[in-house]
Structure 1
């Protein structure tokens, strides 16, 4: 094995052990911190300097997207005026691996005077930060993955995982569901499927509609021009069935020479799967998976008003 690969594997092993060791460092303070956040009527403010601050931004983003309103506050900017953003019912999470970061310790007295509950996150339970916060989460690591044991590597990973553990615990306590997640991620694929309805994406113009008495050459031409892989069959202005590429192939195989003399009604599927335009995309997707089909007809008053394909989801 090359020296580069050995280094990579060693780094992963060291950081993996650091994460695994976190479980043994958990105390009642973790549960108390979760309960304090649950009971709070305010936001969760995350603060930290340097690499701890970068990890803090990610933790705040995770909280915000999983049902716990949160934002990141830079200690330096807080010390120079942004403390005015803090309300007394907010919870503060202060992150410092050493627990002795000067810029962070300078603003802790404000939080305590202001009546804020403070969660300290550090690798030293005997640190100044740990001793001056209501709850302390220990993220101590045996060693940094850095060969000099200086650059924050294992410690930042451990801190990130501790933040995730808090966020997940809160999600479970709040019975946070995919529908809730979608509300905070309307631009994501999950949010799109959970929030948007069939009518938002279905094809509703230039539908490949034919009459039940249509000749086979018209059926084939309509399907080709429609480019949906199907033809919608109507009788007396109402939905009568659907013809798919599969129906065409089966008809050609079974009828052979008589195939071109047949009518649309002879090969159509007379009980196609159809849905309502108000159905959520997620439900439509589940139906397609259940019936192993890639298109659904959208029906209103016994007339097809649109087609939803799996590619639209």
Structure 2
């Protein structure tokens, strides 16, 4: 290994980013009719997309597969080296093969391409060197040409693999749009983690309808304090004689009342409540409840079912579920 050299880290990092950014910007000029034909081919296919590559391109192929699967296009990764040792069995008659390679001339690719041709499947090349073996033999060529790698030696795949990744993302986004892939579809295939919970978890999945905090309009301070304390939500709803929601009393309302130094023995809920409390329907998304709390700088929301009070949801309940 060569002797350690003095390096301007920030300068080199910026140069790397700019080199890759310029490579990506030039990709926009390379999108042609072939790109449209490939998108149409995949969209109208009854098969899957098989994405293959070798080395760093194989890693990018894996990411493209993940993106396609998560946006409505069934895809499978097939390592180019493993393919010629048995994994060709993955390929079915209606499948479309996408092959990633910078040079388009690696030995594994040169062995693999004729075998796929014999099977009759269309081959889409995402390749930097369009005049290469892969570029010449593919059914369709998507140009991912880069002038230079971000690597100072112009060797390590950097700009080229970034270009491959961006082409894959462009394919996935176009297909997503054509399929009308919605946020509900996204939630269906992303049920885990905060992202999934934002898309499928509802208020009804979090709050409890069992014995929600409530006091009457003429309830006295002791009753109010006990209700707020026992239900551990930091607030209680105020209900009139017709079982209609008329207000909310929070810890903050009680503190403000006590700060006024007025006699409290005869004070009723109606006198200290905040009228017209913020509410949310139980079937609304939990993330909508969070956004409403954030917008109004509050920590509780009254939950209703067709306008009828059924409970209360606290900010901490949403945070505990990992919705945000």
Same fold (TM over 0.5): yes
CA-CA distance at 1:291 after TM superposition = 5.6
CA-CA distance at 1:20 after TM superposition = 1.2
Trace 1:193-212 onto structure 2 (pairs within 5 A). 193-205=198-210, 207-212=212-217
Q: Which moved more, 1:176-185 or 1:63-72?
A: 176-185
User: Partner of 2:123 in structure 1?
Assistant: 118
CA-CA distance at 1:179 after TM superposition = 1.9
User: Partner of 1:177 in structure 2?
Assistant: 182
Trace 1:45-64 onto structure 2 (pairs within 5 A). 45-64=50-69
Trace 1:121-160 onto structure 2 (pairs within 5 A). 121-160=126-165
User: Partner of 2:3 in structure 1?
Assistant: none
Cα distance in 1 between the residues matched to 2:279 and 2:16: 54
Q: Which moved more, 1:34-43 or 1:228-237?
A: 228-237
CA-CA distance at 1:249 after TM superposition = 4.8
Cα distance in 1 between the residues matched to 2:297 and 2:180: 31
TM-score calculated relative to the size of structure 1: 0.88
User: Partner of 1:242 in structure 2?
Assistant: 248
User: Partner of 1:90 in structure 2?
Assistant: 95
Cα distance in 1 between the residues matched to 2:242 and 2:88: 68
Residue aligned with 2:262, SS: helix
Q: Please say if 1:261 is aligned against 2:279.
A: no
Residue aligned with 1:228, SS: coil
CA-CA distance at 1:217 after TM superposition = 2.9
Question: CA 1:205/1:123 → structure 2, altered by over 3 Å: closer, same or farther?
Answer: same
User: Partner of 2:171 in structure 1?
Assistant: 166
User: Partner of 1:277 in structure 2?
Assistant: 282
Give the root-mean-square deviation of aligned CA atoms.
Answer: 2.6
CA-CA distance at 1:96 after TM superposition = 0.8
User: Partner of 2:196 in structure 1?
Assistant: 191
Residue aligned with 2:138, SS: coil
TM-score calculated relative to the size of structure 2: 0.86
Question: CA 1:148/1:193 → structure 2, altered by over 3 Å: closer, same or farther?
Answer: closer
User: Partner of 2:84 in structure 1?
Assistant: 79
Do the aligned partners of 1:47 and 1:74 also contact (CA within 8 Å) in 2? yes
CA-CA distance at 1:136 after TM superposition = 0.5
Q: Which moved more, 1:134-143 or 1:196-205?
A: 196-205
* CA distances 1:81-129 after superposition (whole Å, capped 9, x unpaired): 2211211111111011001122123222232232322110111111111
CA-CA distance at 1:51 after TM superposition = 0.3
Residue aligned with 2:215, SS: strand
Q: Please say if 1:41 is aligned against 2:46.
A: yes
Q: Please say if 1:68 is aligned against 2:76.
A: no
Cα distance in 2 between the residues matched to 1:302 and 1:24: 55
Residue aligned with 1:156, SS: helix
Gapped regions of structure 1 (runs ≥ 5)? none
Cα distance in 1 between the residues matched to 2:305 and 2:127: 60
Cα distance in 1 between the residues matched to 2:255 and 2:304: 26
Question: CA 1:238/1:92 → structure 2, altered by over 3 Å: closer, same or farther?
Answer: same
Residue aligned with 1:93, SS: strand
Question: CA 1:269/1:33 → structure 2, altered by over 3 Å: closer, same or farther?
Answer: same
Number of residue pairs matched by the alignment = 312
Q: Which moved more, 1:290-299 or 1:225-234?
A: 290-299
